[in-house]
Structure 1
């Protein structure tokens, strides 16, 4: 017989009744409340910018303790679904998911699972050529203006490594935005920012490397502007592959700084 079959109450009566019952896992009240509020936010029933009831009022309305409510709100805050503001006019306010929400989730995954740098580069090699292809097919005039603006800023920052690296991230994010695909935009945005933290090293950011990056971006942007999806994809594929080879040759640490 199983342990559940032999389970007895204080009187010695078998409460398993021979049914093979296993111990049950009951969700915490804070998780139940967090799930309910999360669903309300995602379905748009709680609109962005609206204030949730104050902690005491919320606890009273749902019949739970204030600490339970506090724990539920903390979960939503970590997920980026609410923002807490201090002061007399403060409180908890609804925030709809955006690319920053995905970025926080990716950071937790990378840190919590010990994801290695090469895994991010492999993901980037698979994703960014697709992003470039879709950008060539769906980009608008405003997208081209944004890409041109970042490209010019990047060229001007060639002697300033931190600014150059930030502009590089902004350029790849702009390509993701030009796809007009929210999922790809969020992933490109998040990957680019995580990768930035691992490549902010002197050996990686030589004058030669920065020049090659600018030339690659120019080719990709030319194809996107022309609406040449195949050329945009192949140029981006070559760019991110060369980037990966450079990382491997420089022995960039596999552990990603947080």
Structure 2
């Protein structure tokens, strides 16, 4: 049997991959925060008893996974970064591009997921979460323009995802949000549409404050259905076009 091959015919992990996983485990288990400095390349060579090229390959792998940042120059080296949902969103976009998935396909997944998150949040959301969501509505109504709406809409939905206290659902939803961002994808709205979206957010917040899971789920579903209906009416060409990976 060839070295590096498993019995089922699949390639076993390279030494650099094993080291990358050990380093990732160390970061998590040691509770290292973003910005923490890892051992130098020389120290890792001695610790793992491998060559420089293997350590560099392991570090590059961690960098591509957004676990670390490699600072150049004297005093530089590997620094903890911590992966974020938008990192998964970028990788997901690339996969979906190869699968020829459209913005419509991504929104369908979001429509299946976010109403459930709204229901979960009714029993778990805090007053601080609700106050922050209220603030996004106020700011949107005060200045219904693309820049304000895009930021406040992001905060509203990410706060709701976090309030459900389900880390897996939160990561998936925020990743989908990075892929299915209508404004970034070219969808345009009038001031009237921004106000309508803010009012829909208000209804969702009211259901959450009342701890009414049925109403929160239905309000979110209606909000997303309305958005999709608008996209199809005004931007049919955009929503049916395959998503594209853009950095």
Short-chain TM bin: 0.7 to 0.9
Q: Which residue of 2 aligns with 1:140?
A: 126
- Counterpart of 1:39 (choices 22, 25, 30) is 25
Q: Using structure 2 for the length normalisation, give the TM-score.
A: 0.83
Q: Using structure 1 for the length normalisation, give the TM-score.
A: 0.80
Q: Which residue of 1 aligns with 2:205?
A: 221
> 1:155-192, CA deviations, whole angstroms, 9 ceiling, x for partnerless residues?
2231x213312221221111112212212222222222
- Counterpart of 1:161 (choices 139, 143, 146) is 146
Q: What is the rounded CA distance, in whole Å, between the counterparts of 1:152 and 1:45 in structure 2? A: 41
Q: Secondary structure at the match of 1:209?
A: helix
Matches within 5 A, 1:214-253: 214-249=198-233, 250-251=235-236, 252-253=238-239
Q: Secondary structure at the match of 1:138?
A: coil
Q: Secondary structure at the match of 2:172?
A: helix
Matches within 5 A, 1:94-173: 94-158=80-144, 160-173=145-158
Structure exhibiting the larger radius of gyration computed from Cα positions:
1
Q: What is the rounded CA distance, in whole Å, between the counterparts of 1:22 and 1:150 in structure 2? A: 53
- Contact kept? 1:136, 1:228, Cα under 8 Å: yes
Within the alignment, does 1:183 sit opposite 2:203 as a pair?
no
Within the alignment, does 1:256 sit opposite 2:240 as a pair?
no
Aligned pair in 2 of structure 1 residues 65, 197: CA closer, same or farther (>3 Å)?
farther
Cα deviation, residue 50, structure 1: 3.8
Structure possessing the higher relative contact order (Cα contacts under 8 Å, 6 or more residues apart):
2
Q: What is the rounded CA distance, in whole Å, between the counterparts of 1:118 and 1:31 in structure 2? A: 36
Q: Which residue of 2 aligns with 1:60?
A: 46
- Contact kept? 1:79, 1:105, Cα under 8 Å: no
Q: What is the rounded CA distance, in whole Å, between the counterparts of 2:242 and 2:199 in structure 1? A: 29
- Contact kept? 1:46, 1:94, Cα under 8 Å: no
Q: Which residue of 2 aligns with 1:16?
A: none
Measured on the aligned residues, the alpha-carbon RMSD in Å equals 2.6
Aligned residue-pair number: 236
> 1:119-151, CA deviations, whole angstroms, 9 ceiling, x for partnerless residues?
211111011101111222111111111111111
Q: Which residue of 1 aligns with 2:70?
A: 84
Q: What is the rounded CA distance, in whole Å, between the counterparts of 1:123 and 1:246 in structure 2? A: 17
**Structure 2 regions of 5+ residues with no counterpart?**
2-6
